[in-house]
Each structure stands twice: as C-alpha cells, then as structure tokens.
Amino acid sequence: MPICPDCKYEYVNGITVCPDCGEDLVDELPPEIILNEADWIVVYTTAFDYEAEMLKGNLESAGISVMILSQKDSSFPAPGDLSIIKLLVKKEDADSAVNFLNEFKKSLESENSEDESE
C-alpha cells in the first residue's frame, strides 16, 4: 500500500506520486513515523509508569528512540491485574539500549549502596 511520507495518506496500488504534495509515495513509512512492530524490540518491562518514563528519558538523551507500550492503552486485555509496560527500541539500537540499561541499573545500585556521599 503506497503511503505519502509527507501527508501520511495511504493510496491504492498504482499511484506513485502524492496528488496533494507531489511527494513520491513509499511502501512503508520509517518506524519513527508509524509503529511497525517488527522493527521494534522490547528491551525492558516494568509495572511502573514512572520507571518507564524515566528510562525513556534517559535512553532518549543517549540518542536512542524509545516507545512505551502499555497494556492500558492496548486493545488486548491484560492477563491478570498487573499491567505490564513495555519499553521498545528499534532493533538497530537494541544492543546499545541493553548496555545502557545495564549501566543504568549498576549506577542505581551503586548509588543505593553508597549512602555516605558527603
């Protein structure tokens, strides 16, 4: 299905140029624009909104695009009362995201163990 990368309209097969803006239509929008789950990978799950938001902010400041997927917004009912929040990154960022999360967890642990910081 051709899509205009500019207007985000989908067109029927056979149309190659957007009639609105003259942009060449593409088969798929890049993952920044539209969620294509096959290109994203879950690197972290948590039950806490604040934790997901905090990690998202940290990863984004490291230049990694993050998407938060929460079962609360999903059409799939959660199996149980615990709603799991998933942190997704693009597959090419997965390794650096996992490294970053490990480093981040380590720094949290060392902060907690070093109480006498004065």
Closer Cβ to Zn ion, 23 or 53, answer by number: 23
Q: Which is nearer to Zn ion, 10 or 49 (CB)?
A: 10
Q: Under a CB-based contact definition with an 8 Å cutoff, are residues 99 and 63 in contact?
A: no
Give the number of other Cβ atoms within 10 Å of residue 31's Cβ.
18
- Helix (H) / strand (E) element for 99: namely helix 94-113
Residue numbers at the binding site for Zn ion (CB under 5 A): 4, 6-7, 18, 20-21, 23
Shortest distance, CB of residue 32 to Zn ion, whole angstroms? 17
Read off the DSSP letter of residue 35: -
Based on CB atoms, which residue is closest to Zn ion, 23 or 51? 23
